[in-house]
Amino acid sequence: METGNPTAALEQFYGALEDDNLQGLWRVVRGLASNTPTSPAVAYRWPWSKIAAHLQTAKELVSLDRGGDRRVLLLVNPGLKSQHLTTPTLIASVQIMRPGETAPAHRHAATAIRFIVDGAGAFTAVEG
């Protein structure tokens, strides 16, 4: 690397970083962090009474063959409607099953957290 001209050497260094898909944080930190949130997501609360009522309706109207292998309602943030997301990095949903139904095993690319809110005799299994 040429060291006679600090400006030229620095530009050469920055070019070498970019060639290797790297970046000096000192060059971009102001654009990465903000003192105020910039997410299109908005603060929102989904009342359980509304979720539960919609789940009961889905249980009556949506069969597993019609809705895929899951009868699930996504919690969609009003600021992220077009992406069907709860937050920019999280999808939250609730599922309802009829007695005797079994949801087939499936895999997730991302981590999933699952817990049963209401029911008797229901269970969930991870890795068998």
| Domain shared by 107 and 128, yes or no | yes
| Domain shared by 85 and 103, yes or no | yes
Give the residue-averaged pLDDT of 16-43.
Answer: 87
118-109-67 Cα angle (round to 5): 50
Residues whose CB falls within 8 Å of the CB of residue 124, separated by 6 or more in sequence, listed in order: 114, 115, 116
| Domain shared by 55 and 111, yes or no | yes
Number of domains in the chain: 2
**Mean of the per-residue pLDDT values of the chain:** 86
Range of the domain at 101: 39-128
| Domain shared by 122 and 63, yes or no | yes
| Domain shared by 65 and 126, yes or no | yes
pTM score, whole prediction: 0.69
Give the residue-averaged pLDDT of 96-121.
Answer: 81
* Reported confidence tier of residue 66, pLDDT bands at 50, 70, 90: low
C-alpha dist (Å) from residue 42 to 84, 87, 101:
13, 9, 35
Given a cut of 60, whether residue 3 has pLDDT beyond it is no
| Domain shared by 13 and 73, yes or no | no
Highest average pLDDT, of 39-48, 68-77, 107-116, comes from 39-48
| Domain shared by 60 and 115, yes or no | yes
Per-residue tokens: 40: 């299109």
